Chains A and B, each alone.
Chain A
Amino acid sequence: MIDLLVIPLIKIVIVLTGVLITVMYLVLLERKVQAWVQTRLGPMRVGPHGVLQPVADVLKLFVKEDITPVRADKSVFMLAPIIVLVPALVALAVIPFGDTVSIFGKPVPLYIADLNIGLLYVVAVASIGVYGIILAGWSSNSKYPLLGGLRSSAQLISYELAVTLTFVSVVLASGSLSMVDIITAQKTNGVWFAFVQPVALFIYTVAALAETNRAPFDLPEAEQELVAGFHTEYSGMRFALFFLAEYANMIVVSAIATTLFFGGWLRPFPNVTMLWFLDYVPSWMWFVVKTFLVLYLFLWIRATLPRYRYDQLMRIGWKLLIPLAIANIIVTAAVKVALSY
């Protein structure tokens, strides 16, 4: 009973609150990092160095008027943000945040579920989010959101292919679809898959930027061109849900990158016994640190690069990343077969 219901429920609550708080502070971190890059200070007014800014932002969004345009399709308009947010949060279920720890003498693994098809689950769930975006654009019954929504859906579908293909090559290297097994495979191999699959890592990074609508692929929200993209007509808490989903997605793709390529909760050089003192850092700490480093890369890129154009984005996806990913799979498979002889 306890194993079946209580512990998973507690874990779900912890993960959800943890992610939501991380999202709040990720927004602050983003503003701060951007500000530092751009020789500014960023938020400074709410609390010391603006640390209470996220609280103020959330409060503001809560009390704002929630406007539904007269011509909008009301039920779809209301449903769309939920469809965007839920998959982003649900994908966290299979992310292993740390090694098994013992609490009160009871071994507790630090993940909600270890599905044997974990990666497949992530791919399946993540692709649901795109429906929310199309529906949001369409149900607003307005030109700019419609264009934004169309762009977004085309973009997400193209880049999902590339992401999934990189998963295939990682699975070839690890021999399992389970997230936990992928991490343990990196331990037994003694090397992160980032070094085994550098091409896959590159493709994943680029495609993940596109999947999360981040710069330089943030076309659906290109303020300068489409005002605000698919969520132009949204306000108040409903807008906040889109915002939340975007950042939750960033966390998810960073967590997956950490798991697949950077050894998840493993400490650096997991098999080098000379670095035994690193084991004193709890495993989930390694996971969090690595995830944040990946997130930092996202923010850094946003502050540096201009934006691609729609057709260029499509060209990169279909003509560069996907063929490269397929070639990578073939090479990986060939090497694996050759090594087994």
Chain B
Amino acid sequence: MEPDVARPMFDTDELVINMGPQHPATHGVLRIVLKLDGEKVVDADVVIGYLHRGVEKLSENRDWTQIVLLTDRLDYVASAAANLAYVETVEKLLSLEVPRRARYIRTILAELQRLASHLVWLGSHAMDIGAVTVFLYCLRERELILDLFEEYCGARLTYNSMRIGGLPQDLPPNWDKKVLQFCDIQMEKLVDYETLLTHNRIWLERTRNIGVISAADAVAVGLCGPPLRGSGVPRDVRKDEPYAAYAEMEFDVPVGANGDTYDRYLVRLEEMRQSVRIIRQALGGLPEGPVMSKVPRLIKPPAGETYHANESPKGEIGFFIASDGKSTSPYRLRVRPPSFCNLQALPRLVRGHLVADVIALIGTIDIVLGEVDR
């Protein structure tokens, strides 16, 4: 007989709770099966696929220009970022040179999009932790960005704002002045959000040492974007493999020290400041010239395959595209979605924390289910 040592004195059952896919805090149709011991999370199982639309397969039956529309629907709070990553991949495949002015405007649009996406993230993250006011403040500023996008391309959510070889149109008159005005407003309002959160005792207690992930683990799990930088890894595609006009911009890559929720919060806030800085530089040095290069009416890239990555607000968004050189649509298109990769870290992050922290942690990795499920 073996001695019965493993059995605890008070044997309690584990409680299995199903969170989502219809839950106010799962940011879309995410489902998490939580195993609880009291209020402590023993294990978490992420169930995805509720928003699968087959974007990758659909792409095989659309021509190259039409796919830009599909990329809008990946990360729908940052569609310009996905647009940019896709058109640049195709340009790489075509070995196409994009006019300098177009690259500058793309940079501006991408950074505005980063601001908008981070505002949605900050708002919903704060609301998950109970600070409802921050949410409305953030959406107020995001509204201004949406207005800017609307003026540029007519759409407010799914922009379809890039073309292979350049941009659909030049900037509308006075648009640059409005953007600069917005930059001033945004810098001012960032202070407001910080007043409500950064030194707030409750906010600190809710975010410090919550969901800590070390730099080595973050790399091992395959985190990207702000969660990776929050752990102290200075990896930013904009700096490491510059695209658009980032090579000509001056900006810092903020990194965290502890890899906890608070650091990821600080990293994103600093990124917003850097975005404003980039937008101001790009508008200041905006070159004259065309915004579209010479592109054949029927795009037919030569046979071959390529991978190209961008730094989207969520992390590294990449497109792998294979072309057979004969058809007018890709042979295979694969998206490397940052939300999907970051979501893989969730079970590791939540283990040992309380139910309330699960909410904070879903918020801190900043996922969009449109991109996770595709």
**Residue in B24, B196, B200, B202 whose CB lies within 8 Å of A227:** B24
Q: Name the one of A40, A147, A216 contacting B202, with C-beta atoms under 8 angstroms.
A: A216
- The 8 A CB mask of A86-98 against B (1 = contact, 0 = none) is 0000000000000
Interchain CB contact (< 8 A) of B133 among A226, A304, A309, A310: A304
A37 touches B205 (CB 8 A): no
Q: Is the CB of B136 within 8 A of A225?
A: no
**A224-B359, A225-B355, A304-B196 are contacts. A215–B137 as well, Cβ < 8 Å?**
no
Q: Which of B126, B140, B356 contacts A309 (CB 8 A)?
A: B356
The answer to whether A224 touches B24, judged by C-beta atoms less than 8 angstroms apart, is yes
* Bound Cα distance A143, B13 (Å): 14
Asked if B131 and A306 sit within 8 Å, CB to CB, the answer is: yes
A27 at the binding interface (Cβ < 8 Å): no
Instruction: Specify the chain A residue showing the minimal Cβ separation from B127.
Output: A224
CB of A38 closer than 8 Å to a CB of B: yes
Q: Which of B130, B140, B354 contacts A307 (CB 8 A)?
A: B130
Known: A38-B132, A38-B137. A310 touches B354 (CB 8 A): yes
Residue A308 CB within 8 A of the other chain: yes
Q: Which of A39, A216, A306 contacts B136 (CB 8 A)?
A: A39
Q: Mark A315-330, 1 if CB is under 8 A from B, else 0.
A: 0000000000000000
Contacts of A37 on B, CB cut-off 8 Å? 133
A residues 296-341 touching B (CB-CB < 8 Å)? 303-312
A222 at the interface (CB under 8 A from B): yes
Sampled A-B contacts (10; CB under 8 Å): A38-B137, A39-B137, A39-B140, A224-B359, A303-B133, A304-B131, A305-B130, A306-B126, A306-B200, A306-B202
Q: Give min CB distance, A246 to chain B, whole Å.
A: 16
- With A and B bound together, what is the CA distance between A312 and B201 in angstroms? 11
Cβ contacts B197-212/A at 8 Å (1 or 0 each): 1001011011000000
- Known contacts: A143-B17, A224-B24, A225-B25. The answer to whether A309 contacts B205 by CB under 8 A is yes
Interface size on B, residues (CB 8 A): 30
With beta carbons under 8 angstroms apart, the residue of B25, B131, B137, B355 that contacts A305 is B131
- Interface contact B25-A306, CB-CB below 8 Å: no
| A245–B359 CA distance with the chains assembled, in angstroms | 28
Give the distance in Å from the alpha carbon of A61 to the alpha carbon of B217 in the complex: 52
Given contacts A224-B127, A303-B133, A312-B206, 4 further A-B contacts (CB under 8 A): A222-B130, A223-B24, A226-B355, A312-B205
Q: Which residue of A lies closest to B140 (CB)?
A: A39
Quote the shortest CB–CB distance from B136 to chain A (angstroms): 4
Q: Is B39 an interface residue (CB 8 A)?
A: yes
Beta-carbon contacts under 8 Å, B128-154 to A: 128-133, 136-137, 140
A-side contacts of B126, CB under 8 Å? 306
A218 within 8 A of B: yes
Chain A residue at minimum C-beta to C-beta distance from B207: A306
Inter-chain contacts of B355 with A (CB < 8 A): 147, 225-226
Which chain B residues in 92-151 approach chain A with CB under 8 Å? 126-133, 136-137, 140
Report the bound CA distance from A44 to B137 in whole Å: 20
Which residues on B sit within 8 Å (CB–CB) of A308? 202, 205-206
Partner of B39, one of A215, A306, A310: A310
B49: min CB distance to chain A, Å: 23
Q: Which of B24, B129, B133 contacts A38 (CB 8 A)?
A: B133
Chain B hits for A311, CB < 8 A: 354
Number of interface residues of A (CB under 8 A): 28
Contact yes or no, A305 B140, CB < 8 A: no
Q: Which residues of B contact A225 (CB under 8 A)?
A: 25, 355-356, 358-359
Closest A-chain residue to B195, C-beta based?
Answer: A304
> Taking the nearest CB of chain B, how far is it from the CB of A309, in angstroms?
5
The smallest beta-carbon distance between A72 and chain B, in angstroms, is 19
The residues of B that contact A222 with a CB separation of less than 8 Å are 130, 356
Given the contacts A305-B131, A306-B202, A38 and B25 also touching, CB distance less than 8 Å: no
In residues 13-56 of chain B, which contact A (Cβ within 8 Å)?
Answer: 15, 17, 23-25, 39
* B316 at the binding interface (Cβ < 8 Å): no
- Report the minimum CB–CB distance from B202 to chain A (whole Å): 5
Decide if A218 touches B132 in the complex (CB within 8 Å): no
Name the 9 nearest CB pairs between A and B, nearest first: A307-B130, A224-B25, A38-B136, A306-B131, A306-B130, A306-B129, A309-B356, A224-B128, A306-B202
The residue among B133, B140, B200 with the most chain A CB atoms within 10 A of its own CB is B133
Chain A 216-251: CB-based contact to B (< 8 A → 1; otherwise 0): 101100111111000000000000000000000000
Known contacts being A224-B24, A308-B206, is A303 close to B132, with CB within 8 Å?
Answer: yes
Q: How far is the CA of A37 from the CA of B130 in the complex (A)?
A: 15
Question: Are the C-beta atoms of B17 and A305 separated by less than 8 Å?
Answer: no
By the criterion CB–CB under 8 Å, are B24 and A306 in contact? no
Does B271 interact with chain A (Cβ within 8 Å)? no
Q: What's the least CB distance linking B266 to chain A, in Å?
A: 16
Give CA–CA (A150, B276) in the complex, Å: 47
CB distance from B356 to the nearest CB of A (A): 5
- Does chain A have a CB within 8 A of B357? yes
User: CB-CB < 8 A to B196: which residues of A?
Assistant: 304
Residues of B within 8 A of A309 (CB): 205-206, 354, 356-357
Q: How far is the CB of A210 from chain B (nearest CB, A)?
A: 13
For the complex, what is the distance from the CA of A312 to the CA of B358, rounded to whole Å?
Answer: 15
CB distance from B369 to the nearest CB of A (A): 17
B202-A305 in contact (CB<8A): yes
> Interface 1/0s, chain B 161-178, versus A by CB < 8 A?
000000000000000000
- A39 CB to closest chain B CB (Å) equals 6
A303→B133 CA distance, assembly (Å): 6
Residue of B nearest to A315 (CB): B205
Cα distance A223–B24 when bound, in Å?
7
A218 and B130 within 8 A (CB): yes
Task: Tell me which residues across on chain A come within 8 A of B197, comparing CB atoms.
Answer: 306
Determine the distance from Cα of A40 to Cα of B130 in the docked complex, in whole angstroms.
18
> Which residues of chain A come closer than 8 Å to B200, judged between CB atoms?
305-306
CB nearest neighbor in A for B22? A227
Q: Closest approach, in angstroms, between the C-beta of A218 and any C-beta of chain B?
A: 7
